[in-house]
Amino acid sequence: MPEVGQRRVMAFDFGTRRIGVAAGQEMLGTGQPVIMLPARDGIPDWNAITRVLEEWRPDVLVVGLPLNMDDSENEMCARARKFGKRLHGRYHLPVDMVDERLTSFEAKGDVMARGGSRDFGRHGVDDRAAVLILETWFGLQETPAG
């Protein structure tokens, strides 16, 4: 695995109907939307996830954790954690959970500001939220000494 600061990272905004995916390079500290994957009652299309991971070849996976504003967990937190554990079990990559409070709200504002809607074009709220989750994770990493 590449050293800290050089890793390719992929983030997931887990949802029961859609899973937003973003990717980025740790050195740059920014992400880009990749795809919105369909889910059926929170069950992802694992073949689609496999294809995305094979194409992007990330070193680390990040899953958003939708905590309540009082830091408590809810049913979606349990589902997101389960998704993260399944990602780790299937693909044997490190998985980090990141507080994603307000990312969907901020992402919706970004999309609407561009004149879009929730299902705007190929990219929308869910993959934009994944970018924000990824950039939050980058902000939490220690900067390598140098």
> Strands (DSSP E) along 41-143, which ranges?
43-44, 60-65, 95-99
Of 1-5, 65-69, 91-95, which range is least confident? 1-5
What residue segments make up the domains of the chain, in order of their start?
Answer: 8-140
- Rounded to an integer, what distance in angstroms lies between the CA atom of residue 16 and that of residue 38? 9
Tell me the per-residue pLDDT of 36-75, one tens digit each, with 9 for 90 and over.
Answer: 999 998 899 999 999 999 999 999 999 999 988 898 999 9
**Does the domain made of 8-140 have the CATH classification 3.30.420.140?**
yes
Q: Is 10 helix (H, G, I), strand (E, B) or coil?
A: strand
- Rounded to an integer, what distance in angstroms lies between the CA atom of residue 118 and that of residue 94? 30
Beta carbons of 80 and 65 less than 8 angstroms apart = yes
pTM: 0.82
Say what the pLDDT of residue 120 is. 42
Strands 30-40, 18-25: pairing is antiparallel
Q: What are phi and psi of 44, to 5 degrees?
A: -75, 165
Longest Cα–Cα distance of the chain, Å, equals 46
Q: Is 56 helix (H, G, I), strand (E, B) or coil?
A: helix
